[in-house]
């Protein structure tokens, strides 16, 4: 088949690695995949549309896997869901007329700070607590940025909940479960406004992500709490520091 090329295989590998990171740590699929497509000169609108289309498959598999491993808090899931869907639709619509790159440096600076705080939290004894406040604006803002910048839902929402004391495993599982609906809402909006292209890339990213989803959910359940938080924090700091350096 024509689409079974070396380039296609690389996209499958990229989807696998991106979902392995995202499913285990609650973030970075969009950031990783968007960075890859940007290297090939794809426009921000097409990057976000393509990545979100692929994520419909990967986040669906990830959400099911996290639910099977008991990583999803139903109350947290429900309270994030509706605001997140609204934010995704609004963000995708705005991106069709405004370049999402304008927001990236500010979001990256914010995320570097959040990552550093998470690392610090891993080495301090803070009583865990169930976060129940300010979930609606968090879900809306996280999805808005995600749709406009091609990624950011996990780093913004998961890092905020973890910093505030929410259980890391439950946060990762619940945020991943909601992400399916965020990507679906954004994808539908993109399809109705600018259409969808690059189906070979979407298929490759989806295949790699679906394969990685169960392994990532297993890792989220079994990685010890402190190194888990350190990994999340380092991931946020490194990725967004590189993005800031690239902009400068």
| pLDDT, tens digit (0-9, with 9 covering 90-100), for 111-162 | 788 778 778 777 776 567 788 789 999 999 999 988 887 677 887 898 888 8
* Residue that has been written with the tokens 């692929």 in this structure: 54
The residue among 216, 212, 214, 143 whose CA lies nearest residue 184 is 143
The pLDDT tens digits of the residues spanning 219-238 come to: 767 777 677 778 777 877 88
Show the tokens assigned to 67: 């639910």
Residue 3 has pLDDT above 60, yes or no: no
pLDDT value of residue 141: 93
Neighbours of 173 (CB within 10 A): 28
Residue 186 has pLDDT above 90, yes or no: no
The residue among 183, 141, 182 whose CA lies nearest residue 159 is 141
Instruction: Report the C-alpha gap between 155 and 29 in whole angstroms.
Output: 10
C-alpha count within 13 angstroms, C-beta hemisphere, residue 222: 6
Question: What is the pTM (predicted TM-score) of this model?
Answer: 0.72
Instruction: Report the C-alpha gap between 56 and 205 in whole angstroms.
Output: 11
Instruction: Report the C-alpha gap between 101 and 81 in whole angstroms.
Output: 26
């Amino acid at each position: 088949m024509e689409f079974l090329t070396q380039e296609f295989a690389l996209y499958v590998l990229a989807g696998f690695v991106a979902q392995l990171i995202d499913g285990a740590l609650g973030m970075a699929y969009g950031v990783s995949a968007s960075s890859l497509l940007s290297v090939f000169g794809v426009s921000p609108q097409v990057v976000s549309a393509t990545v979100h289309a692929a994520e419909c498959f990967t986040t669906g598999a990830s959400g099911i896997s996290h639910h099977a491993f008991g990583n999803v808090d139903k109350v947290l899931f429900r309270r994030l869901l509706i605001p997140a869907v609204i934010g995704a639709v609004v963000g995708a619509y705005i991106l069709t007329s405004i370049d999402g790159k304008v927001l990236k440096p500010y979001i990256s600076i914010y995320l570097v700070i959040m990552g550093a705080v998470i690392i610090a939290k891993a080495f301090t004894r803070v009583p865990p607590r169930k976060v129940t406040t300010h979930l609606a604006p968090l879900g809306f803002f996280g999805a808005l940025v995600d749709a406009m910048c091609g990624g950011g839902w996990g780093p913004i929402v998961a890092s905020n909940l973890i910093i505030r004391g929410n259980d890391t495993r439950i946060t990762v599982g619940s945020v991943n479960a909601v992400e399916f609906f965020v990507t679906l809402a954004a994808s539908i909006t993109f399809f109705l406004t600018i259409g969808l292209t690059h189906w070979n890339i979407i298929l490759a990213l989806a295949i790699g992500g679906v394969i990685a989803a169960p392994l990532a959910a297993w890792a989220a359940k079994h990685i010890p709490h402190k190194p888990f938080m350190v990994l999340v924090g380092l991931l946020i700091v490194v990725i967004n520091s590189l993005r800031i350096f690239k902009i400068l």
